[in-house]
A = this chain, B = another copy of it.
Amino acid sequence: MDAQPTSLIEASRVQGTNVFNAAGEKLGAVHDLMIDKRTGQSIYAVVSFGGFLGLGEDYFPIPWAKLKYDAALSGYVTDITPNVLEGAPAYAAGAEPRWGDRAYEEELHRFYGAAPYWANPIVL
């Protein structure tokens, strides 16, 4: 991973960054990031697939490991398929999940086959 200084973005401006599938087709956009206040690591990108698949304006918290930044696209690429998204955990605006609930987050990581960040801490 090549962490160049040019890859920096303000937290306040990350909203709206596009999310693409492996074919480079736009799926949705970043609504927000969930950041671990202690480590500073982004844990989830909360993605809106508005309109796509009739998913409306629901927000999908997606583990960071499922997204890869593509400088040419100026956005994130994910290998998550429409089939997977249809059954994915999501919430409506104003109905934020229980971020402090370990069971909820365990389910979220299990769904995407991602290693929980608290079991595999970021090495700084």
Which residues of A come within 8 Å of B, CB atoms? 1-12, 14-15, 17, 32-44, 46, 64-65, 69, 99-102, 105, 117-118, 121-124
A100 CB contact (under 8 Å) in B6, B36, B117: B6
When all copies of this chain in the complex are counted, the total is 2
A38 CB contact (under 8 Å) in B7, B10, B33, B39: B7
Query: Which of A12, A40, A101, A121 neighbours the largest number of chain B CB atoms within 10 Å of its CB?
Result: A40
* Known contacts A5-B99, A123-B122; A11 and B38 CB within 8 A of each other: no
A33 CB contact (under 8 Å) in B1, B34, B35, B64: B35
Could you tell me the distance in whole angstroms from the C-beta of A70 to the nearest C-beta in chain B?
Answer: 10
Could you tell me the distance in whole angstroms from the C-beta of A63 to the nearest C-beta in chain B?
Answer: 10
Chain B residues with Cβ below 8 Å from A2 are 38
Chain B residues with Cβ below 8 Å from A102 are 5
Given contacts A35-B42, A65-B124, 8 further A-B contacts (CB under 8 A): A3-B38, A7-B36, A8-B36, A8-B99, A9-B37, A11-B33, A17-B37, A41-B41
